[in-house]
Amino acid sequence: MDTRCILIIDDEEDIREVTQLTLELEGGWQVLTAESGRKGVDLARFHHPDAILLDVMMPDMDGLMTARVLQEFPDTQSIPVLLLTAKGAAEIIEDFQGIGIAAAISKPFDPLQLVPQIKQLLAWT
């Protein structure tokens, strides 16, 4: 069983719940959730997850700012970040080059394809 830990940072409760259930049931992964960028940064610094799924559009501290803050701390710089975005993935990746973004996953996503997609994007076998 894969014991990886994934942190989901998304302000939409239904997205967090569906994503968490999918990752736990399909991936067998431990899942942490945060409803804001600030809480997500705190959880990342405390738990050091294997990857972060980060929503781009959030009030207060958006995904771009959250990714930048994660890059400020040596203990979170190396955590791969996958953006969850409703925008076009290609344009987003260009905006985020240099701040630790590994890839983007477009919303809405197919829950049954999410675990294989994450494994492929992060080269997890």
Q: What are the average pLDDT values for consecutive 10-residue runs of the chain, which has 125 residues?
A: 88 94 96 98 97 91 92 94 75 66 84 94 90
pLDDT number for residue 89: 54
**Which class would CATH give 5-119?**
alpha beta
Domain borders along the chain are 5-119
Helix intervals (H) in 3-88: 13-27, 37-47, 63-72
pLDDT number for residue 108: 84
> Are 107 and 85 in contact, with CB atoms under 8 Å apart?
yes
> Are 51 and 122 in contact, with CB atoms under 8 Å apart?
yes
pLDDT number for residue 39: 97
Contacts (Cβ under 8 Å, ≥6 apart) of 62: 37, 56
pLDDT number for residue 92: 58
**What spatial distance separates the first Cα and last Cα of the chain, rounded to whole Å?**
12
84, β-bridge pairs: 55, 105
